[in-house]
Copies of this chain bind each other. A is one copy, B any other.
Amino acid sequence: MFRSHGFAGTGMRDIADAADLSPANLYHYFRGKDEILFYCQDRALDRMLDAVTGARAASGPAAARLQRVLAAHVLTMLDAVEGASAHVQIDSLPPSLRDRIVRKRDRYERGLRQLIEAGIASGEFTAGDPALVTRAMLGAMNWTATWFRPDGRHDAATVGDGIAGFLVRGLERQRVSAQGAAGRSPRTY
């Protein structure tokens, strides 16, 4: 919906046009652009938090659970309907709204790190620095907002699966087999 460098130059009328609403209708729900940006970011983070909370509570291999969380993150970021790729633009927000997003984002990062730590503790993931790996993953995923094009070669779900698969492989202690490793990314994207 909003590209990472496009929001500052976007007016309420542009947003209303994009959402197929009259400006009056848009103002009925939101007091201004800041509120819309906050709403998009907040809703995207809720989806991501739901995914990580669900994965931590679930059973099964850590790799498969982490894969689901990462794929959901990318899909949420790139989903044009949700407008969530705006969620990297927190500096555009006034401090009070910004702080609420930062706190929620920190909570999500913590959940992701704890999921990785649990996989290390169970012996499924290689030891290392979970905090650093978490940030590397967040970077790889958030960066998609700078280059993904909805009319590009691959849709958001394919990009999400591909990036998630690559990131999870970086943590796995043992591959089931060479076939198993190749089997997770059978196609060229």
Contacts of A141 in B (CB 8 A): 139
Q: Interface stretch among A33-41, A56-64, A130-138? A: A130-138
**Chain A facing B: main interface SS:** helix
Q: Complex Cα distance A162/B154, Å?
A: 30
A10 CB-CB contact with B under 8 Å: no
**Residues of A near any B CB (own CB < 8 A):** 5, 91, 126-129, 131-133, 135-144, 146-147, 154, 159, 162-163, 165-167, 169-171, 173-175, 178, 181-182, 185, 188-189
Contacts of A162 in B (CB 8 A): 128-129, 132-133
Contacts of A182 in B (CB 8 A): 126-127, 173
**Chain B nearest CB, measured from A21 CB (Å):** 28
**Chain B nearest CB, measured from A24 CB (Å):** 33
Q: Are B135 and A137 in contact (CB under 8 A)?
A: no
- Number of chain copies forming the complex: 2
Q: Are B170 and A167 in contact (CB under 8 A)?
A: yes
Q: Are B139 and A188 in contact (CB under 8 A)?
A: no
**Chain B nearest CB, measured from A105 CB (Å):** 11
**Chain B nearest CB, measured from A141 CB (Å):** 7
Q: Complex Cα distance A181/B126, Å?
A: 7
Q: Are B189 and A129 in contact (CB under 8 A)?
A: yes
In the A-B complex, the 10 residue pairs with the closest CB atoms: A139-B143, A170-B170, A129-B189, A136-B140, A128-B185, A139-B140, A140-B140, A169-B170, A132-B162, A166-B170
Q: Are A142 and B144 in contact (CB under 8 A)?
A: no
Chain B: which residue is nearest A136 at the CB level?
B140
| Residue in contact with A166 in the complex, picked from B132, B143, B165, B173, CB distance below 8 Å | B132
**Chain B nearest CB, measured from A86 CB (Å):** 15
Contacts of A136 in B (CB 8 A): 140, 143, 163, 166-167
Q: Complex Cα distance A175/B181, Å?
A: 12
